[in-house]
Chains A and B, each alone.
Chain A
Amino acid sequence: MSALPPIPAHPVTPAQPGLALPAALTGRRLPSWAPPAVTAGAVAVAGLLFAATPLQGRAGFVVVTALLSVGSQTALSFAVEGRRRAVDRMFSAFVYASFAVAAVPLVLILWYTVLRGIGAINLRFLTVSMFRVNPDNPGGGIYHAIVGTLEQAALATLMAAPIGVLAAVYLVEYGRRQPFARAVSFFVDVMTGVPSIVAGLFIYALWILTLGFQKSGFAGSLALFILMLPVVIRATEEMLKLVPAELREAAYALGVPKWRTILRVVLPTALAGIVTGITLGVARIMGETAPLLLLVGTNSRIETNPFASTDAQRLQEALPTFIYEQFRDAVGNPDTPAAQRAWGAALTLIALIMLLTGLARLIARLARVRG
C-alpha cells in the first residue's frame, strides 16, 4: 500500500440554473371546502347535462360526474396551487377511484346475496334436508348440503394442508436451486391454473374408471384436494421465504439440527401466513361445483358418511351443487321457493367461508407468541 494522495478540497458548487430556492416556504392552498364544493358543482352540471342532452343512465351519470369532478378540481388546483399539487390531487383521485371500482363488485355481491338470501334462512332451513320435498313447493332445508360441504372440505384440507406445507418446506429449505425443486415449483404454478372441471375429470378417470370405485363424497374431496394443493404450496412457500435467514443461522449456531430449526423456529415464525394460505385454499374449494357434479352427484337426504357409495340413495349433497340444482329448478324465476332456497344456500356458503376465515385468523393470532 503506497501513501494515499491528499484529499482534494471540495469545489464550491455553483448555483445551479433552473433550481432557484422558493421565494417563500408557504404556498397557496385550496381551502378545505373546495373539493366537496367542486364535487357538488360537478353533480349539478352533470344533472343539467343529462336533462338537456340525450345522455342518460345511472352508470353514465356516475362516470360523467366523476370525470367532471376530477377534471375541474385538477384545473382549479393547477391555477391556485401550482403543478405539483395539481398532479398530486389528480393521482390521489385515481387511486381512490380504482379502490372504489375494485370494492364495488365485492360489496354488491355480498349486499345482494344478503338481501335475497336472508329471508330464506331460519333455524328450520339450516336443520332439515330436502327429503320428500317437492322442489316447486316451499319448505325443506340445506342441512344435508352443509354436512356434505363441511365434510368434503375437511377431508380435502386434511390431505392438502400437511402435504402442501411439507412440499413448500422441501422447496424452500431443502431443494433450493435444484432442478427437481424448480420443476416442482413450475408445475405448482401450472396446477394453480388448472380448471376445476379438469381436476374433476382427472379424478373421475383415475378413481372411478381406472380403480373402479363408485361416486362418493370422498371422490369429490380428492378433486378438491388437487385444487387446494397448489394454493397451499404457493402461499406457504412465499411465507417461508420471508423468514429471515438470520433466524435459521441463530438456531444452527446453538447446535440445533436443521429439521428442528424448521419445526420450532421457521414454521412458527411463518405460521400466521401459512394459516392464511390454507384458509384461502379452503375458501376456494368450498365453492367448487363442477368436480362435485361429476364425482359426488346430488341427493336430497342427509348422508353423513363421505365414503358411502353403495347406491344413489347414499350420495352426499354439497352447498354449491344444491345451489345449482335449485337454480335449475327455479328456471329463471326469482320468486319461486327453489330460487329462494338457492339464495339462502348461497348466503350460508359465504357466511361459512367468512366464519372459517375469521376462526383461522383468531387461531393464528393466539398462536403468535408462545414458548
Chain B
Amino acid sequence: MAMSIDVSGLNAYYGKFLAVRDVSITIEPRSVTAFIGPSGCGKSTVLRSLNRMHEVIPGARVEGKVLLDGEDIYGPNIDPVNVRRTIGMVFQRPNPFPTMSIFHNVAAGLRLAGTHRKSELQDVVERSLRGANLWNEVKDRLSKPGGGLSGGQQQRLCIARAIAVQPQVLLMDEPCSALDPISTLAIEDLIDELKSTYTIVIVTHNMQQAARVSDRTAFFNIAGFGEPGELIEYDDTSTIFSRPSNKQTEEYITGRFG
C-alpha cells in the first residue's frame, strides 16, 4: 500500500503571487524523497500541493497535474477530503488536538470519519503508537491530554495520528525543526522504518538529515526575492550530495549560501 506521485507543470499561487513555477517531479513508491532548498524557495508549498492542503489558505490555488498512481488529484469530481485521507501529513510544529486525550488524538482520524467501534479503535491506536515508537512511553497514560507530552513525543503522536488512517503517502513538513537532537534521531529512525510501507516526502532545512534519511533529493531555489521558486535538480541523494550536476545545487550543499 504505497502509491507513486507524478507531478507535471505545477504552478502554485498565493493570490496573484506565483510562489512556485513549473515543477515536474516523479516520486517513487516506498521511498523517502527529501525536498531541500533555502527559505522561501517553495518546497513547503509544493509539498502542500501534493495533498491539496495548499488551497486551504484563502486565495491560494494550484495549476498543473498531480497524478496519484495515474489519477489527477486536481481533476474534476475529485474530493479533497478523500485525497487527504489517502495522503497524510505531519506538520512543522507538533499540533495534537488540545481537547483530546492521547488515545483520542490517535483515533481522531477514524472517529471523525465515523468509526466508533471501541475494539477496532483500540487496535488501531496501539498499532499506530507502536508504529510511531511511542507506545511504551504512553501506554499507561492514554487518557491524559496529548498536550502534556514533550515536543518530540507530541511529534511522534502526530505521526501516529497520521498513520492511524493508513494513508498511502506521508508528507512531512520539516517534522524535526522544532525538536532536539535525540527526538530528531527517534523521528529519523521512524522514517526509516515507515518507508517500507509508505511513500514518504519530507521537507527539511537540514542537509545532513536529507542525506541520512532520503533515497532521492530534490533541490529547490529562487532567483531572488519576489521571484517564484523552481525545482533545480532532482536525483538520487548520493548523487546530489557527491556529484551534483547543477552549479546552484553544489553551492547550496557545500554551504556557500542558504
Task: List A residues at the B interface (Cβ < 8 Å).
Answer: 1, 3-4, 176-177, 244, 246-257, 260-261, 264-265, 268-269, 271, 368-371
Contact = CB atoms under 8 A, between A and B. Distances in A.
Interface in B222-258: 247-248, 251, 256-257
B82 A177 contact: no
A254 B145 contact: no
B53 A253 contact: yes
Contacts of A244: 95
Please give me the 9 A-B residue pairs with the lowest Cβ-Cβ distance, nearest first: A255-B85, A253-B89, A254-B109, A268-B99, A371-B104, A246-B95, A256-B112, A255-B84, A250-B95
Nearest to B80: A252
B34 interface: no
A1 B251 contact: yes
A369 B104 CA distance: 10
Interface residues of B, number: 38
A2 to B, nearest CB: 10
Contacts of B113: 254-256
A269 B91 contact: no
A202 to B, nearest CB: 36
B51, B82, B95, B103 pick with most chain A CB within 10 angstroms: B95
Given A249-B56, A264-B112, A254 B161 contact: yes
Contacts of B51: 253
Interface in B18-58: 51, 53, 56, 58
Contacts of A268: 99
Contact of A1 (B93, B100, B247): B247
B78 interface: no
Given A253-B89, A254-B161, A369-B100, 16 more contacts: A244-B95, A249-B95, A252-B56, A253-B91, A253-B162, A254-B84, A254-B112, A254-B113, A255-B81, A256-B81, A264-B108, A269-B99, A369-B99, A370-B100, A370-B101, A371-B100
A275 to B, nearest CB: 13
B97 interface: yes
B165 interface: yes
Contacts of A265: 97, 99, 112
B91 A249 contact: yes
6 contacts: A246-B91, A247-B97, A248-B56, A249-B56, A260-B112, A370-B101
B182 to A, nearest CB: 24
Contacts of A254: 84-85, 88, 108-109, 112-113, 161-162, 165
B75 to A, nearest CB: 18
Given A254-B84, A257-B81, A269 B112 contact: no
B257 A255 contact: no
B2 interface: no
Contacts of B109: 254-256
B181 interface: no
B179 to A, nearest CB: 16
A244 to B, nearest CB: 7
Contacts of A256: 81, 108-109, 112-113
B98 interface: yes
Contacts of A251: 97, 108, 112
